[in-house]
Amino acid sequence: MRQLSSSLTFALAIFLPVWWTVFFGSFSLFTVLTPAEDLPLSNPHAFRMAISAFTVCGFACMYWVFMRLRRVEWGDGYFYITNYFRTAKVDDRGLQRTERKRILGISILILHFPGSTSFGKQVRMLCSQENEKFIRSLIIRQNGTDPESM
């Protein structure tokens, strides 16, 4: 079995969102539950709203960028895709193309499948260039042509 996604996936997809939610969620809850006269600010209501908005917006960004990352392995003609709670086995012949995007300075590889897997038609992963070349070679072997030339 060959691991195609980065080992950093676990930290970005699980650890960072949990840490963010616990730390900033607790801080937001503290500011909301503390009486206004105990907060050393001239306008505590604006501070409460700003901290709450910062926490929610940060979590939303993390959800759209990091929590959708998947760990991907390949072996015996199948991709094994997991979000660390469940795993899907997808035939590698179903892979149509790949796409690389840079989000917040992080390079993310998106695998496109024709039919929907249990994780959707697109699977996002962190991937080295060496593993990206390997995935592209699987597509070339399957189709006989380079997906970039289409």
Are 70 and 125 in contact by the 8 Å Cβ rule? The answer is yes
The pair of structure tokens assigned to 1 is 């079995």
Mean pLDDT by 10 residues, the chain (150 residues): 94 95 95 87 88 95 93 94 94 90 88 90 93 91 64
* Per-residue model confidence (pLDDT) at position 8: 93
* Per-residue model confidence (pLDDT) at position 148: 57
* Per-residue model confidence (pLDDT) at position 42: 83
Please name which of 16, 17, 43, 13 lies closest in space to residue 31, comparing C-alpha atoms.
Answer: 43
* Per-residue model confidence (pLDDT) at position 23: 97
Residues for the chain: how many in total? 150
The pair of structure tokens assigned to 14 is 């699980």
* Strands lying side by side in the sheet with 120-126: 97-103, 106-117, 120-126
Q: Would the pTM count as exceeding 0.75?
A: yes
Domain ranges of the chain: 7-65, 71-149
* Per-residue model confidence (pLDDT) at position 150: 46
Within 10 Å of residue 142's Cβ, how many Cβ atoms? 15
Q: What is the DSSP letter of 46?
A: H
Q: Tell me the CATH number for domain 71-149.
A: 2.30.29
Q: What is the DSSP letter of 84?
A: S
* Per-residue model confidence (pLDDT) at position 145: 64
